[in-house]
Amino acid sequence: MVRLSAMQSLLALIRPKGIRLYDVLKKGEQYSVVLSAWNEGETLHFSEGVISEDRFEPIATDTLLAKSIAEGSGCFCGMQGSGYECCIPVLMDDEPVSVFEIQGDKPFDDASIAMATGMISVYRNYLALLEDSQRDTLTGLLNRKTFDTGFAVFLSSAVHLDAELQDDRRSHKEGSHWLAVMDIDHFKRVNDTFGHLYGDEVLILMANLMRGSFRQGDRLYRFGGEEFVVLMRDVDFADVKKKLDDFREKVEQHVFPQVGQVTISIGFTSVMPTSTPAMVLGEADEALYYAKGHGRNQVRCYGELVEQKLLAEKTVHTEVDYF
């Protein structure tokens, strides 16, 4: 784990009283933070799974932590309470994504500060390389090969669900974790009529619409071609269905250059602690297939279709396969 190596190195190099790593969330022009890693002596602790947005808290404006996020780069040191601390932000694409808060009983010397900033710079560069390897080159969304690992991390945050839901998958509308599969309707026609250059532009704009419609903590993937996947957590059935339908409508109303109107079909399903990637992709695929076969440009829930006896529960699909 990259965070583990960075924290261990900082503890060994500068011997601070404490180290805290905060994740940073930006909403509009406001920043909030959540503690994601910290030490107790030589023991390191980390938040498990995906951290939900409701755990992020506003920052007190008169702190070094707030100043480091506002300024965005450099090392911010000074007295804080009865001790001394240095806050060093980590930037990705010129935006702070996390901050190291290093605590001591007295000011750190220049050599210690230089070692800390150097180590955090290495950490940032490694994150950037890792990020690049996980991204689709055209859209910048997460790519297919990272899905299984990302799904495992996502799933680890679902273990708090009620034990009854863990053992009983009869009600696929229950739960608070969801996977949606989206497919652009008649995308081959777009490529055949306007050419692949405009087809690629549709994909790029679709990814931008996704980024502007879903939460920062939701995981957005391009699976290749015109197929996209969204993982969402901590949202109930009514809200997730509304969010997906709002996105469908947003796409329908968007004017794509040269192409004009484009629509999407969406299938989604609940994610349980016992789910596997093949299981939930198969269920969402069934719902998507139903949407495609019944008019397109619509959102369908696998569990709802099963309850309405419009679909029988299917065996697991090993791949997402559309037409």
Phi-psi domain of 253 (left: phi exceeds 0; alpha: psi -120 through 50; beta: other): alpha
Beta bridge partners of 29: none
The count of other CB atoms within 10 Å of the CB of residue 149 is 11
The count of other CB atoms within 10 Å of the CB of residue 281 is 26
Q: Identity (one letter) of the amino acid at 192?
A: D
226: annotated active-site residue: yes
* Rounded Cα distance, 70 and 118, in Å: 21
Q: Which of 85, 101, 226, 304 is catalytic?
A: 226
* Rounded Cα distance, 33 and 83, in Å: 21
**Phi and psi at residue 52, to the nearest 5°:** -75, 155
**Phi and psi at residue 31, to the nearest 5°:** -110, 145
* Rounded Cα distance, 280 and 253, in Å: 29
- Which residues belong to the active site? 226
